[in-house]
Structure 1
Amino acid sequence: MSNNRSSTRDGFGDAMIAIGETNQNVFALTADLTESVRLAAFEKNFPERFVQVGVAEQQLAGISAGLALADKIPVAASYAAFQPANSWGVIRTSIALQNLNVKLVGAHAGLATGPDGATHQSLEDIALMRVLPNFTVLQPADYQEAREATQVMVQHTGPTYLRISKISVPALQFLEPFAIGKMRTIQAGSDITIIGTGAVFSEVLAANKQLQDEGISVRILNCSSIKPLDVATILTAARETTGIITIEDHQIAGGMGSAIAEVLAATTLGKPCIRLGVQDMFGESGQQPELYKKFKISAQAITETAARILAKKY
């Protein structure tokens, strides 16, 4: 881990500038959130390929579908609380059903939005998007991975949802390159596996330090490709460690943890998988660290869960 900190939305915005310079088919669209989703520089540099639809997420999805039919590559960004929630019907029928090459970006994701409160804290968007046939669902964990994921998303053919956050997160070191359908290893370990996604790795790394001090060997995996999942890596972790903890800034129902639990439920491995995340509740206004603690998306929740698994009290 590096001391450098930046947000995944910054990584997305910087990647879009680089992409815009080399790919004339890429268009950027937003719904009155140009600066918040880090598309202001794209608008300045490539105004002829920037579309501002106003506060109209259904139009955002519909216009993106039209651009894809014209052989362009639309990258449409809004807050994750508004896209996909406000435009899901259009996304389903006009993009997913037609299998169009549209890239949707949900920014300000999860409780990390903090003081904006429940109306702006998207805790359901992964569930809404991973259920749609044809869609790829990605969530980078740091600035550099967001840049890489944005590049790969644009190169990939097919509808894709990219989930990004506004909070600054630590720069991580991975053992493998970013790829759709693959997890990335942050740390090898043999006692227990922690699988995270998105902005939660400050908590994961803090928990890891405490567990290491207790002599526990932790395998840490980054699930930046939520759909398709890296099934082989999940099964290897289940075979080689005592159990799996998943952690995400999202509802437990329908999120990354649910996807992993579905994989394990189809096996006879019999290993525990305990999911940390929001448990059938809406968020509330507050600072991100205190919200993570309240909703048990915290280092403390991870260490307590690890103790339960290792003691077989689950």
Structure 2
Amino acid sequence: MADKIATREAYGKALVELGEKNDKVVVLDADLAGATMTKYFKAAYPDRFYDMGIAEANMVDTAAGLSTMGLIPFCSTFAMFGAGRAYEQVRNSIAYPKFNVKLCMSHAGVSVGEDGGSHQAIEDIALMRVIPGMTVIVPADANETRKAVFALADFQGPAYLRLARLATPVFEEDQPFEIGKANVLRDGTDVAIFACGLMVNESLEAAKLLAADGIDAAVINIHTIKPIDRECVIHYAQRCSKVFTVEEHSTIGGLGDAVADVLMGVVNCGFHKIGVPDQFGQSGKAADVLKEYGLTAPQIAANIKAKL
């Protein structure tokens, strides 16, 4: 692993790079440019940046309008507000008419830390995944985030990009990125671990711990939750016969359910979801909160061993 970089940081810098290459790109924020890192785009292209204030619904509707003019709006705020507070506008003003708006929301998951349960969006993947026609992407590191931003600019239609506050390791090996195509980061035959976002690195570390106990774990990065890579999911479920999903999100409606939907009635395998149980997050240091919900590598490894 190289340096630790937050995916929100990578997003902000990727926008500047994208803005130089594509003059159709505009960025909207809800008074949180310093946190979502759209501040970099604001400094570079002030005439293409719109601070909409603490008015997420208005921001989303404005982005919808801008998209009808041939522009490519990237909307940012905290996931709790972008996916939560503005849900109706996302559904009816963007997804329903199939407008080309990119919803790139930061501070998702319990790793938000000290902001507590009110700001820790653990339902956002479920909310966005259930909207007809919405593409949902959860990048695992800074490099993948950059690639996702560029891919979304070329992609036609509404999309949700989930970003994190916490700085996390950047993978040393460069990985390809294609919307809807999973990346196998570690091959294995005993158990298949499907992970997304911050949990990809934790799952890789967990796989090393499992290997020390003679358990050969495959780790698959499902960066696109919707549309999910059905072929890859089915292949590894059949190959390993034991499946675990790991996500920094509620175990209801997220990656776990997306994988289960693919496998149900198709592959007969052991299946377990690792994530946030049916409860809200808590305030605390990010590392402590992740540990509270069993989302660290040693805990993931122990959980998998106990269920094998």
What's the TM-score, normalizing by structure 1? Answer: 0.95
Matches within 5 A, 1:19-98: 19-98=18-97
- Give the drift of 1:175: 7.7
- Quick one: which amino acid aligns to residue 204 of structure 1? S
Match for residue 299 of structure 1 among 274, 297, 300: 297
Give the 3 Å change call, closer, same or farther, for CA 229–173 of structure 1 in structure 2: farther
- Quick one: which amino acid aligns to residue 32 of structure 2? L
1:237-266 residue CA offsets vs partner (Å, 9 max, x unmatched):
011113111111110100011110111113
8 A Cα contact 1:30 1:52, kept in partner: yes
Q: Which residue of 1 aligns with 2:246?
A: 247
8 A Cα contact 2:186 2:220, kept in partner: yes
- Is 1:272 the counterpart of 2:240? The answer is no
User: What's the C-alpha RMSD, in Å, of the aligned pairs?
Assistant: 1.3
- Quick one: which amino acid aligns to residue 10 of structure 2? G
Q: Which residue of 2 aligns with 1:186?
A: 185
8 A Cα contact 1:182 1:225, kept in partner: yes
8 A Cα contact 2:241 2:268, kept in partner: no
Q: Which residue of 2 aligns with 1:168?
A: 167
SS of the residue corresponding to residue 50 of structure 2 reads: strand
8 A Cα contact 2:30 2:55, kept in partner: yes
Number of positions where the alignment pairs a residue of Structure 1 with one of Structure 2 = 308
Matches within 5 A, 1:140-219: 140-173=139-172, 177-219=176-218
Cα distance between partner residues in 2 of 1:78 and 1:287: 21
Matches within 5 A, 1:278-297: 278-297=276-295
Give the 3 Å change call, closer, same or farther, for CA 102–59 of structure 1 in structure 2: same
8 A Cα contact 1:243 1:271, kept in partner: yes
1:257-309 residue CA offsets vs partner (Å, 9 max, x unmatched):
11101111131x21012001111100010112221221122223322332244
Cα distance between partner residues in 2 of 1:110 and 1:92: 21
Cα distance between partner residues in 1 of 2:205 and 2:180: 27
1:120-163 residue CA offsets vs partner (Å, 9 max, x unmatched):
10000000001011110001000000000011011100000000
8 A Cα contact 1:243 1:309, kept in partner: no
Cα distance between partner residues in 2 of 1:256 and 1:264: 13
- Quick one: which amino acid aligns to residue 297 of structure 2? A
8 A Cα contact 2:189 2:218, kept in partner: yes
8 A Cα contact 1:175 1:184, kept in partner: no
8 A Cα contact 1:185 1:221, kept in partner: yes
SS of the residue corresponding to residue 250 of structure 1 reads: strand
Cα distance between partner residues in 2 of 1:307 and 1:200: 17
Cα distance between partner residues in 1 of 2:248 and 2:59: 25
What's the TM-score, normalizing by structure 2? Answer: 0.97
8 A Cα contact 2:210 2:305, kept in partner: no
- Quick one: which amino acid aligns to residue 307 of structure 1? K
SS of the residue corresponding to residue 37 of structure 2 reads: coil
8 A Cα contact 1:9 1:38, kept in partner: yes
- Quick one: which amino acid aligns to residue 299 of structure 2? A
Q: Which residue of 2 aligns with 1:102?
A: 101
Q: What percent identity do the matched residue pairs reach?
A: 35
- Quick one: which amino acid aligns to residue 247 of structure 2? E
Cα distance between partner residues in 2 of 1:152 and 1:71: 17
8 A Cα contact 2:206 2:298, kept in partner: yes
- Give the drift of 1:177: 1.0
Q: Which residue of 2 aligns with 1:222?
A: 221
- Quick one: which amino acid aligns to residue 180 of structure 2? G
Give the 3 Å change call, closer, same or farther, for CA 251–211 of structure 1 in structure 2: same
- Give the drift of 1:199: 1.1
Structure 1's unaligned 5+ residue stretches are none
- Give the drift of 1:202: 3.7
8 A Cα contact 1:175 1:186, kept in partner: no
Moved over 3 A (4+): 173-176
